[in-house]
A and B are shown apart, each in its own frame.
Chain A
Amino acid sequence: MKHILLVVCLGTLSWMAQAGEAQPMAQDPQVEARLVAIAEELRCLVCQNESLASSHAELAEDLRREVRKLIREDKTDAQIKTYLVERYGDFVLYKPPLKPLTWPLWFGPFLLLMLAMGGFWRYMRQRRQRIPHHLNASERAQAEQLLKD
């Protein structure tokens, strides 16, 4: 695994060194605008914390080329995303789809928040019951007796 990562990183580095920062923009600014809009919501498979729009990895470059081609073919955003999901899985989407498998992902945090709030509420109620505890007459007498001793 380490080797692949190293190769990818070195490859990316050497590629960056050659290509510099500015990539020759494709001819059609409209296509580019749509490409950026779509690619920002997609994950680069190689550098997993980068979007497909910003990644310098070679695979990202290839995938941008494919997306560009699909845009020129007048495919909708949904069709383009489906194209990538069919090949790389839901993982390419930064926003995972809502389905039973991803329910914990979508609703888990709210569930945890509700549990925490419930716990807090119970704790507060117990505390409120405990603090205003006044001594009754016999207890007071007992306490005085203890203090005297």
Chain B
Amino acid sequence: MKKFFLPLIAFAALVVFLAVGLKRDPREIPSPLVNKPAPAFSLPTLVGDKPFSPADMQGQVWIFNVWATWCVACREEHPLLVQFSKTQHVPIVGLSYKEIQPSDQANGPLSDEVKLQLARERSLKFLQKAGDPYKLSVMDLDGRVGIDYGVYGVPETYVIDKQGVIRYKRVGPVTPEVLIETILPLIQQLDKPA
């Protein structure tokens, strides 16, 4: 009897391991940035001349959302962000990540001014059409700030607390479930007066 059950148990264990492995998303890599201060930067914004830096948000809980108009999954999550911005008072800052793609420069490299102008035009057009959930958007044309934030698959979303510490990072589109079950409770908890 033991001889018969032993392989069966081993097989069941294997199935459990494989099933868990199948459910896990290999693209979700634990970020070392959670519970670390948000990396500092200073970047031009989508509108206006004043550059933005994360220090400007000191003292409030905010959401940092990495997006681009060429990113299909960003469009998928966009309506949810728009809805969120209408019902919640937590500011979302957008990071327009590498709006200018290599394909835009197929006919030779563009100057930084032209890139910025083109990126702004495209982003504004998109936001006018689809709605603008952002308090403001910053333009990360060469993706350097993206690297500092460990971005590897847009869209990515961060929750940053009053002290400027990253408390949560999400790779891939924010879903209603993630928003309701994880992000909103976290914001509520962080928003409590200390």
Contact = CB atoms under 8 A, between A and B. Distances in A.
B73 A4 contact: yes
Which applies to chain B's interface (DSSP): helix, strand, loop or mixed? loop
Contact of B106 (A1, A18, A46): A18
Contacts of B142: 62
B26 A87 contact: no
B96 to A, nearest CB: 15
Given A1-B25, A7-B72, A89 B152 contact: no
B102 A15 contact: yes
A59 interface: yes
A147 interface: no
A-side interface size class: 20 to 34
Which applies to chain A's interface (DSSP): helix, strand, loop or mixed? helix
B90 to A, nearest CB: 25
A68 to B, nearest CB: 13
Given A4-B153, A18-B103, A87-B33, A63 B147 contact: yes
B29 interface: yes
A58 B152 CA distance: 10
A24 to B, nearest CB: 12
B76 interface: yes
Contacts, number: 69
A148 to B, nearest CB: 34
Interface string A25-50: 00000000000000000000110100
B-side interface size class: 20 to 34
A3 interface: yes
A125 B92 CA distance: 69
Interface string B91-132: 000000010011100100000000000000000000000000
28 contacts: A1-B25, A1-B73, A3-B76, A4-B27, A5-B27, A6-B72, A7-B70, A11-B101, A15-B103, A18-B103, A45-B152, A46-B153, A48-B27, A58-B102, A59-B143, A62-B142, A62-B143, A62-B147, A63-B147, A66-B144, A66-B147, A87-B33, A87-B147, A88-B29, A88-B150, A88-B152, A89-B29, A89-B32
Given A3-B72, A7-B72, A88-B31, 6 more contacts: A1-B27, A7-B73, A18-B102, A87-B33, A87-B150, A89-B31
Interface of A: 1, 3-8, 11, 14-15, 18-19, 45-46, 48, 58-59, 62-63, 66, 85-91
Question: What 7 pairs across the A-B complex have the smallest Cβ distances?
Answer: A45-B152, A87-B150, A89-B32, A3-B73, A91-B29, A3-B72, A4-B73
Interface of B: 25-27, 29-33, 70-73, 76, 98, 101-103, 106, 142-144, 146-150, 152-154, 172
